[in-house]
Structure 1
Amino acid sequence: MKVHKLLFILFFSCFAFMASAQTESQLRKKKEAIEREIEQLQRNLNKTASGKKLTLQQINAINAQIRLRQDKIGTINSEIKNLDNQISQNTNTVHTLQGQLGDLKKEYAGMIRFAQRNRNSYDKMMFIFAAKDFNQAYKRIKYLQQFSQYRKKQAGYIENTQQDLNGKIKVLDKTLKEKSTLLREQEEERARLGKDKSQQSVALSKLTKQERQFKQDISSKKREQQQIDRAIRAAIQRAIEEARRKAAEEARLAAAKAAAEARAAEAKAKAENKPVPKTNTAPATKEKTTSELLTATPETARLSAGFENNRGRLPWPVATGSITERYGLHKVDLASYTNDGVDITTNDGATVRAVFAGKVVMVQNIMGRTAVVISHGEYFTVYQNLRGVSVSVGNSVDTKQAIGSVANTGDDAILKFQIRRGQSTLNPEAWISK
């Protein structure tokens, strides 16, 4: 029973270790990804720091870097918590193994003392010959044999338990060292976060001095974006109107076919001197919603459903990058503006790829910036600030197919990415993979 209990404890501790190791691996990967994003943002900031003029991209990059550092500290905290659980489990296992080892040693000591008292052959022979009959003598012989075998097994159990105990103590020491390393890393990251916040304070102070110029820059960007957004909405509206035109044409053809069939039935009835069948007047067709229009065919319905089913799992439109401006309303000092998507800072010339299969409905150059819109049933993805576009209107594209590259129109290479359902904008962070 004690051996079974020991095996159960070892099995449970191994299972817990495997589960924690998996979590530890996931946390390590997440931390490494955050570190890559921070490094890329820092390179961009170093490149633009020499400029006297403060830009919105610099402020967004600093804010994004602070957010990433906070995420990294949170990830390190999760790693430390995970290690604390492992330390607790391993400490309990060590105590249990030490208790089991003590019990096994006590039992073994008792057997050794018994063996010492009955160590000569004469005593063993007297023990056997003192039996009252042959059957009892045989049982005593078997007992002495089994006792010897059991003593050897107990010695093996003691040795194995000692090895397991030594192994667990080594794992515990290693885990404690890892925790110590993580605590140092956490302190270093907090110091870097403090420097980033100081840099943010300096940037905001600089912003106050350049307030007038900064507001003019934001107003200019808002006008440019409004022009691009009008073109995007127009392209989506054209796609909706084209779907409506097709639906109306199908309804007209269906009505014409029904009328022709009714006339043929009437002519046949008259020729055979039979009563003319009554024709049912079709009720007025209910006007379809935008969603119904954009998913009217099996292909568009399949695309739309596939896009929706991949919510939270869509690939990023670039292989590497950081979200430096999020979806929604933004306020910088007294100026404010709305971003209908997200800004992804990446490498200059980075390849832009479609996040899902679909059909290109717009490729348009506006004020030196090319925008591409791809239809996925009732969903649309928008890619702005491109150069070297490799697709044209009407082309079908596959998931992760290259459609162009990111242009550097200022201090950084920034892809502006949107997701829309019809004309309504959606937050891309809820759709692309974490």
Structure 2
Amino acid sequence: MTSKKNIFKFVVFTLLLCVSNSFSQSNKQKELEERRQELRQEIQKINQLQQENKSKQKSQLSLIENYNYKISVLNNLISVTNQQANLITREINSNQKKITKLREDLTILKEDYAAMIVKSYKNKNQQSRIMFLLSSNDFKQAYKRLQYMKQYSDHQREQGQEIKAKSEELQKINANLLKQKAEKQKLVAENREVQKTLEKERKEHEILMASIKKNINIYSAQISKKQQEANRIDREIERIIREAIAKSNKKAGNSKSSSNFALTPAEEKLASNFISNKGKLPWPVEKGYVTVRYGTQPSPIDRSLTIKSNGVRIATEKNAKVRAVFNGEVSKIIVIKNSNPMVMIKHGNYITVYKNLSKVYVKEGDMVSTKQDIGEVFTNPSNGDTILNFIIYKNVDPQNPAEWIYKM
């Protein structure tokens, strides 16, 4: 009895495991397809923005950044598509095993069913059945024989239904198998095209890098100068934030020096709402892609040089509107020598900074709402670059925008 229970438990566990694996594979396939579509849209966005600025003579630095980003997206797309194709291959193999097992089961079922039909045909004579019952030694045996005849008939009917069900299941799996094979062929074909595009981008990247290396010292000097300028602006922003912190602490009657904002109950609530939207904040521009990410990273031109980015650089379209990523108060419109205007918005003890604007629509003290236009991104007239620099601070500490902005 215990042995039968253990066998039953094992069968149930195996079935549950199969169902769980099936759901897991289905969810994984769905996630991969969503990611693949996102990457394809990203490439379309890059192509569209590059096409709009095609007439402009891009700087070598901008071109390298664009190539690097596009190549990384193409690599990601190929990787995700390969994962999808591999998952479909596993599903195809699993379905082929199921088909083999079902065919074996059907062969046995049909043989048993055929034997039953033959036996039923031989015993279908009503007189034979009556004689079978009347030849019983007693009533108890006659009753058992009657039950046997009923069970045999029921089993025959169930056998027929099982054959029908397994045949339908086999047809369904076969149809699904054909669909999966078609999906895999489509993915493989698309991947070949993406790989061709990737090779083309890589060759152009290599040609450009070869021309840059001839004058690497000039470009290295340009990179160092740009980094120095970025550091100067970042120091000024930090100084302004520290002044705002000191002001808030003084207002709250906190005489001790602090690197954190003293918040009112309303500001605490705003900061809490800002935190609860981490990973869900909208992009500061409607269209765009990140060309330089947050953190310290090697220069794409001279790997011996490092670039420190307190935020992200977003390439966007000409005359692009800049949007507040969350409700808040415009705490400062920053204008620094040799730099385009910046807008600083306070969200409790969090601050978002929008750099390199050509127009500013708001003024200090304005309350803004999520996705409200606050200005326009500056477009460099010499090369057509329209770049927004976007930073998030918690008090004076810069944060990684990719962790806050939706799908960045």
Name the TM-score class by shorter chain: 0.7 to 0.9
- Post-superposition offset of 1:297: 2.2
Using the TM superposition, give the Cα deviation of residue 418 of structure 1 relative to its aligned residue in structure 2, in angstroms. Answer: 0.9
Instruction: Indicate the residue corresponding to 1:239 in structure 2.
Output: 244
Which residue in the other structure is 2:332 paired with? 362
CA contact (8 A) 2:52 2:317 kept: no
Q: CA deviation at 1:415?
A: 1.3
AA aligned opposite 2:167: Q
Amino acid across the alignment from 2:314:
I
**Percent of counterpart pairs with the same letter?**
31
1:290 aligns to what SS in structure 2?
A: coil
One-letter identity of the residue aligned with 2:333: V
Question: In structure 2, what is the equivalent of residue 182 of structure 1?
Answer: 187
Q: Determine the structure 1 residue equivalent to 2:387.
A: 414
Aligned pairs, how many? 396
User: 1:354-393 maps to which residues of 2 (within 5 A)?
Assistant: 354-366=324-336, 367=338, 369-393=340-364
Inter-CA distance 143–32: structure 2 relative to 1 (3 Å threshold): same
Counterpart of 1:196 in structure 2 is: 201
SS at structure 1 position matched to 2:370: coil
Q: Deviations over 1:180-206 (max 9, x none)?
A: 222232233222222111111111123
Check if 1:317 corresponds to 2:284. yes
Q: Equivalent of 2:375, from 404, 410, 424?
A: 404
Which residue of the other structure, out of 126, 137, 141, is the alignment partner of 1:121? Answer: 126
Give the alignment partner of residue 42 of structure 1, picking from 29, 39, 47: 47
1:369 is paired with a residue whose SS is: coil
Query: 1: distance between equivalents of 2:185 and 2:16?
Result: 28
Rounded to whole Å, the distance in 2 between the matches of 1:238 and 1:216 is: 33
- Classify 1:353/1:143 alpha carbon distance in 2 versus 1 (closer, same or farther; 3 Å): same
| 8 Å contact from structure 1 (residues 307, 356) kept in 2 | yes
1: CA distance, partners of 2:210 / 2:79: 29
Moved more, 42-51 or 169-178: 42-51
1:375 alignment partner, SS class: strand
Aligned to 2:106: 101
What is the alpha-carbon distance in structure 2 between the residues aligned to residue 170 and residue 233 of structure 1?
A: 63
Query: Alpha carbons of 1:344 and 1:364: their partners in 2 closer, same or farther (altered >3 Å)?
Result: same
Structure 2 counterpart of 1:354, which letter?
A: A
Over residues 375-411 of structure 1, what are the superposed CA-to-partner deviations in whole Å (9 max), with x where a residue is unaligned? 2233221111224433221222333333223232242
Q: Given the superposition, is the C-alpha separation of residues 426 and 368 from structure 1 closer, same or farther in structure 2, using an over 3 Å criterion?
A: closer
Partner residue of 1:161? 166
- How far apart in 1 are the matches of 2:131 and 2:140? 16
Match of 2:356, SS? strand
Higher-Rg member (1/2): 1
Report the AA paired with residue 269 of structure 2: R
Give the whole-Å Cα distance in 2 for the aligned partners of 1:211 and 1:45: 25
TM-score, structure 2 normalization: 0.84
Q: One-letter code of the match for 2:258?
A: T
CA RMSD for the aligned pairs?
A: 3.3
User: What amino acid maps onto 1:289 in structure 2?
Assistant: S
Q: Do 2:45 and 2:287's aligned partners in 1 also have CA atoms closer than 8 Å? A: no
Q: 1:277: which partner in 2? A: none
Q: What's the CA shift for 1:42?
A: 2.8
Matched, 1:350 2:320: yes
One-letter amino acid of the structure 1 residue matched with residue 268 of structure 2? A
CA distance in 2, matches of 1:320, 1:225: 24
The answer on whether the counterparts of 1:385 and 1:406 sit within 8 Å (CA) in structure 2 is yes
Deviation at 1:323, TM superposition (A): 0.9
Secondary structure of 1:39's match? helix
- Greater shift, 403-412 or 238-247, is seen at 403-412
Q: CA offset at residue 236 of structure 1?
A: 0.9
1:303 equivalent in structure 2: 270
Aligned residue for 2:284, secondary structure, equals coil
Give deviations 1:157-212, integer Å, cap 9, x for gaps: 10111010111121122212222222232233222222111111111123234556
The Cα shift of 1:106 comes to: 3.1
Q: Which amino acid aligns with 1:66?
A: I
- Contact kept, 8 Å, 1:295 with 1:301, in 2: the verdict is no
Where structure 2 has 5 or more consecutive residues not aligned to the other structure, the ranges are: none
**Correspondence for 1:290:** 259
Cα 1:137/1:246, change in 2 over 3 Å? same
Report the CA distance shift for 1:350/1:47 in structure 2 as closer, same or farther (over 3 A): closer
